[in-house]
Amino acid sequence: MSASLTDPFGRHISYLRVSVTDRCDFRCVYCMAENMNFLPRQDLLTLEELDRVCSAFITRGVKKIRLTGGEPLVRKGIMTLVESLSRHLQSGALEELTLTTNGSQLQKYVKDLVRHGVKRINVSVDTLDPDKFKAITRWGDLAKVQDGIKAAQDAGLAIKINAVALKGVNDAEIPAMIRWAHGQQMDLTLIETMPLGDIDGDRTDQYLPLSQVRASLLDQFTFADIPYKTGGPARYVAVKETGGRLGFITPLTHNFCESCNRVRLTCTGTLYMCLGQEDAADLRAPLRASEGDELLQQAISEAISRKPKGHDFIIDRAHNKPAVARHMSVTGG
């Protein structure tokens, strides 16, 4: 079976995000509770199985794969998967293999990533203040992340910084983060907090609409809308004062579902057709049921035929429960 993947709304699925582990060495306050119950290790797909599912998607026209998590670089043996997937870059079937990371392990892996054909990565940094960084991530060390970023740049990787906009936490710092990222030739993308999974606090307190942030940034910066696209949901502007690019991911203030080209695979082989809906398809059973990929391909086709039109995220005082129970670390950010 090699027909490409088109959903009931005519959207072509060309982008697979793979959460290779739900574990993480940080505990960001908006993402996880401090004490998390992680998936039992025996439920995880092996690295070979992850490769098989990714390859099945590539056969069906997926051109971009992003490894994420949890923290993708804490999955044991992760470079084996990166190396095996790189054969699809070499053949030209896959256009981009990339990852989203918190940067804590970058120094260790950056050379291998480059060797296996990774060209760009996203690194999540919500603040440049070391104490605040510790408070947001609970367990993280900003200096280590900055060393990782430097190592990645020295090795020639292009970097995009992702920052979640958090009310009363990093909002005053956003102009400085724009100058910092652009000063080092990195794009910066701001993300709205999404109501995914129970956390220790209340999301209504953290939620900061990016429409508001954008308006307040206009006091200091001049923005020009640009058509730049990376295959993801961010909309970009060029910032005249810095010469850099600033992205906005606005699932709440401006829903981007109409152009959604993505599906998400968890480390246990569950496929989520939408980040913000509960419906999912199990790919692990068909994967393990036979050595050939026929059952797996059927399950993928069936899943894509159920991709929903969009999500229904709302955060306000009347809706302060998560839209979906699973954390971002399960589905993969």
Q: Which residues bind ligand SAM (CB under 6 A)?
A: 24, 28, 30-31, 68-69, 71, 100-102, 124, 162, 164, 191, 193-194, 196, 328-329, 333
Distance CA 166, CA 315 (A): 13
Least distance (Å) from ligand SAM to the CB of residue 291? 32
């981007």: which residue's tokens?
256
Residue closest to ligand SAM when measured from CB atoms: 333
Comparing CB distances to ligand SAM, the nearer of 276 and 286 is 276
Least distance (Å) from ligand SAM to the CB of residue 203? 7
Comparing CB distances to ligand SAM, the nearer of 113 and 164 is 164
Comparing CB distances to ligand SAM, the nearer of 7 and 71 is 71
Comparing CB distances to ligand SAM, the nearer of 68 and 230 is 68
Distance CA 258, CA 233 (A): 10
Comparing CB distances to ligand SAM, the nearer of 272 and 297 is 272
Comparing CB distances to ligand SAM, the nearer of 19 and 55 is 19
Q: Is 209 helix (H, G, I), strand (E, B) or coil?
A: coil
Distance CA 70, CA 50 (A): 15
**What does the buried/exposed string (b/e) look like for 213-227 if buried means 16 or more CB atoms within 10 Å of the residue's CB?**
bbeebeeebebeeee
Least distance (Å) from ligand SAM to the CB of residue 101? 5
Least distance (Å) from ligand SAM to the CB of residue 247? 12
Least distance (Å) from ligand SAM to the CB of residue 132? 14
- Per DSSP, the residues of 9-64 read TS-B--EEEEE--S--S---TTT--SS--PPPGGGSPPHHHHHHHHHHHHHTT--E
Q: Where would I find the H helices in 46-170?
A: 47-59, 78-91, 106-115, 130-137, 142-154
Distance CA 78, CA 216 (A): 41
Least distance (Å) from ligand SAM to the CB of residue 288? 26
Token representation of residue 258: 């109409």
